[in-house]
């Protein structure tokens, strides 16, 4: 487990520009790491065959592969997706270090006897699609491992060499070994399967005692469990933690949990009371859903567990949190003065992987801030079943959904296209057909007046005519979707104005007045 005990305050001044430049170099520089290229074998073999052929270097993983029953899968094409895998292959020296630093197993022989763990360990190194290094993101890989977990990629540089680190632990030392059924990247450390929640990571790392104690005393620790029950469905609990190191709190005169309670606690209220200011302060550090650094886009309000969202602007070279709330530092260079009026990320240390999503580390104490209203667009990705769908998928059981419900038809189809031919935003959409009713409960939105809009396909004589309801009340008119679309075939329909009195979730319902096809792209709220 990564242990960050002290963060140099000067690192706060680090900007993301070098990281972006580095990523561009990854893609375009011809001075890349000499091992960062595709190796074509004279006679292409499969992944399992390569490991067997090179047992003198990978004997430990060869045993893992055999005992963990991976030989057959790694000898075949991946039955899903593009038919390929990605294997992060540790060297024997990496396994020796792993055993040396492992309190659970005294030797590799002892490890190999634990068949259940061997199966998990081997599969944790195997990603369910083929990925070359030039497609590595600065964050989570686009597909999960064979254990259903995410792996993350970090970047660093050494002179003109790009260094990739998997889970901030394992450097890629030989990249892009091409096999007939995917790619092998040789790594210098063993990847330990992640089996802890976000709270457990903070509680086990001594540099984060103040925030972890706050989570415990407010009861928020219990909301950060591995699974939660929502609408009678047990689903994996996904969230993002923005964490300050204890040294950050010390700069603000907060040296203990007692100091934090003294500064933010509400006298006379239990710490577990959601109206206690300490509860709100702590809950504000938890974002709903999982967001790795590369997934922050544009200027958005990201919902938190508190009464306000967090404003995160990723439109420029640096990701900025709650810009304009305060002046956190002043930078003087060459006679020029720069006022830093936002909280920043520690980029290299962030993207710490847990079972429930990432932990990111921030430069200053983050107090509650009520950001201005912004345009919000919702595209169903808050629904776990939709978010986990890789491409087109048909769903027949609405009881398995948390935020989406439908009736009047047997199924809905979610379509996510990888090409550019589809004109839906992102591009993805939901398709439903018949005499249907479909509901979608959207994330919280700040109070105020908004124009409610939705985008749907409107250029097909078989399309439906629909009515719209918001929070159970009819709004707008009847919308004939057989015509009226632009050259993309889609149409943005302004339903009317709505006035929200509080920061809360809202449910939109679309009902077929005249049965037909409904291809639903997104819902939009534009401040008025």
- The full DSSP string for 237-283 is --EEEEE--HHHHHHTT--SHHHHHHHH--TTS-TT-TTSHHHHHHH
What H or E segment, with its residue span, contains residue 120? helix 115-124
Residue 136 lies in a domain: yes
Q: List the domain range (segments joined by +) for residue 479.
A: 376-527
Residue 439 lies in a domain: yes
User: Are 228 and 120 in a shared domain?
Assistant: no
Region of residue 69 (phi > 0: left; psi between -120 and 50: alpha; otherwise: beta) = left
Q: What is the DSSP letter of 188?
A: S
Q: What is the pTM of this model?
A: 0.79
Residue 273 lies in a domain: yes
Q: Which residues contact 459 (CB under 8 A, 6 or more apart)?
A: 482, 483, 484, 485, 489, 490, 491
pLDDT at 30: 35
Instruction: Give yes or no for a contact between 123 and 70, defined as CB atoms under 8 angstroms apart.
Output: yes
Instruction: Give yes or no for a contact between 44 and 178, defined as CB atoms under 8 angstroms apart.
Output: yes
pLDDT at 39: 44
Query: In this structure, what CATH number is given to the domain that contains residue 203?
Result: 2.30.180.10
3-state secondary structure of 392: coil
Structure tokens at 71: 């030989």
Query: In this structure, what CATH number is given to the domain that contains residue 481?
Result: 2.60.120.260
Residue that finishes a domain, picked among 361, 392, 427: 361
Q: Which residues contact 302 (CB under 8 A, 6 or more apart)?
A: 287, 288, 291, 296, 309, 310, 311, 312
User: Are 241 and 105 in a shared domain?
Assistant: no
- Residue 153 has a CB neighbour count (10 Å cut-off) of 22
Number of domains the chain is built from: 3
pLDDT at 17: 42
3-state secondary structure of 219: coil
Residue that finishes a domain, picked among 140, 157, 187: 187
User: Are 155 and 239 in a shared domain?
Assistant: no
Nearest to 406 by CA among 440, 429, 447: 440
Residue 368 lies in a domain: no
pLDDT at 206: 92
Burial of 298 (0-12, 13-18, 19+ CB in 10 A): exposed
Instruction: Give yes or no for a contact between 265 and 278, defined as CB atoms under 8 angstroms apart.
Output: yes
Residue 469 lies in a domain: yes
User: Are 268 and 394 in a shared domain?
Assistant: no
Q: Which residues contact 150 (CB under 8 A, 6 or more apart)?
A: 140, 141, 144, 353
What stretches of 365-454 show up as alpha helix (H) in DSSP? Answer: 384-387
pLDDT at 525: 98
Residue 9 lies in a domain: no
Q: What is the DSSP string of 456-474?
A: EE---TTB-EEEEEETTEE
Q: What is the DSSP string of 25-48?
A: HHHH-SS--TTEEEEPPSS---HH
pLDDT at 387: 82
* Length of the chain in terms of residues written: 528
User: Are 138 and 259 in a shared domain?
Assistant: no
Residue 1 lies in a domain: no
Residue 255 lies in a domain: yes
Residues 35 and 25: their CA atoms lie apart, in Å, by: 15
3-state secondary structure of 329: strand
Residue that finishes a domain, picked among 187, 213, 230: 187
Residues 145 and 167: their CA atoms lie apart, in Å, by: 13
Residues 214 and 285: their CA atoms lie apart, in Å, by: 11
Maximum alpha-carbon separation in the chain: 75
User: Are 220 and 329 in a shared domain?
Assistant: yes
- Residue 256 has a CB neighbour count (10 Å cut-off) of 14
Ordered mean pLDDT values, 10 residues apiece, the chain (528 residues) = 40 39 36 41 80 95 96 90 91 96 93 96 95 91 90 80 88 95 97 93 96 98 79 76 98 97 97 98 96 91 96 90 81 72 92 93 96 94 82 87 95 80 83 98 96 97 98 97 94 97 96 98 98
- Compute CA distances 47 → 43, 75, 85, 151, 181, whole Å: 13, 6, 9, 20, 7
User: Are 436 and 522 in a shared domain?
Assistant: yes
Q: Which residues contact 326 (CB under 8 A, 6 or more apart)?
A: 341
């Amino acid at each position: 487990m990564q242990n960050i005990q002290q963060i140099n305050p000067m690192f706060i001044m680090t900007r993301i520009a070098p990281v972006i430049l580095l990523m561009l170099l990854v893609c375009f520089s011809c001075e890349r790491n000499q091992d960062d290229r595709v190796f074509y074998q004279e006679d292409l073999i499969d992944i399992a065959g390569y490991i067997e052929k090179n047992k003198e270097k990978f004997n430990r993983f060869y045993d893992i592969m055999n005992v963990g029953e991976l030989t057959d899968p790694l000898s075949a094409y991946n039955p899903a997706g593009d038919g390929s895998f990605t294997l992060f292959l540790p060297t024997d020296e990496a396994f020796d270090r792993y055993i040396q630093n492992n309190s659970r197993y005294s030797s590799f022989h002892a490890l190999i006897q634990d068949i259940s763990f061997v199966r998990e360990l081997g599969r944790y190194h195997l990603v369910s699609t083929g990925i070359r290094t030039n497609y590595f993101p600065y964050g989570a890989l686009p597909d999960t491992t064979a254990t259903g977990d995410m792996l993350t990629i970090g970047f660093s540089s050494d002179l003109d060499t790009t260094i990739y680190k998997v889970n901030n632990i394992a450097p890629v030392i030989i990249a892009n070994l091409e096999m007939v059924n995917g790619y092998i990247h040789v790594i210098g450390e063993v990847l330990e399967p992640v089996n802890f929640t976000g709270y457990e990571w903070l509680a086990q790392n001594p540099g984060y005692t103040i925030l972890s104690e706050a989570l415990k005393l407010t009861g928020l620790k219990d909301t950060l469990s591995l699974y939660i029950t929502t609408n009678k469905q047990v689903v994996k609990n996904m969230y993002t933690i923005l964490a300050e190191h204890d040294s950050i709190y010390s700069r603000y005169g907060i040296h203990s949990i007692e100091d934090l309670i003294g500064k933010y606690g509400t006298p006379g209220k239990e710490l577990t009371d959601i109206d206690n200011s300490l509860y709100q302060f702590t809950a504000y550090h938890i974002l709903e859903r999982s967001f790795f650094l590369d997934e922050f886009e544009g200027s958005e309000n990201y919902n938190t567990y508190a009464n306000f969202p967090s404003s995160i602007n990723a439109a420029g070279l640096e990701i900025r949190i709650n810009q304009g709330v305060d002046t956190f530092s002043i930078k003087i260079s060459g006679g020029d003065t720069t006022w830093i009026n936002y909280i920043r990320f520690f980029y290299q240390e962030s993207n710490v992987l847990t079972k429930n999503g990432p932990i990111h580390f921030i430069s200053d104490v983050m107090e509650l801030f009520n950001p201005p209203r912004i345009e919000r667009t919702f595209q169903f990705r808050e629904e776990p079943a939709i978010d986990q769908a890789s491409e087109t998928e048909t769903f027949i059981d609405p009881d398995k959904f948390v935020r989406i419900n439908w009736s009047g038809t047997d199924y809905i189809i979610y379509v996510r296209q990888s090409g550019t031919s589809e004109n839906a935003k992102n591009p993805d959409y939901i398709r439903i057909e018949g005499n249907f009713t479909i509901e979608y409960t959207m994330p919280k939105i700040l109070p105020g007046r908004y124009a409610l809009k939705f985008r749907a396909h409107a250029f097909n004589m078989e399309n439906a005519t629909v009515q719209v309801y918001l929070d159970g009340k009819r709004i707008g008119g009847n919308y004939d979707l057989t015509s009226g679309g632009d050259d993309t075939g889609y149409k943005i329909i302004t339903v009317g104005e709505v006035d929200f009195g509080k920061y809360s979730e809202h449910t939109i319902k679309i009902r077929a007045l005249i049965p037909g096809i409904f291809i639903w792209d997104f819902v939009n709220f534009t401040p008025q």
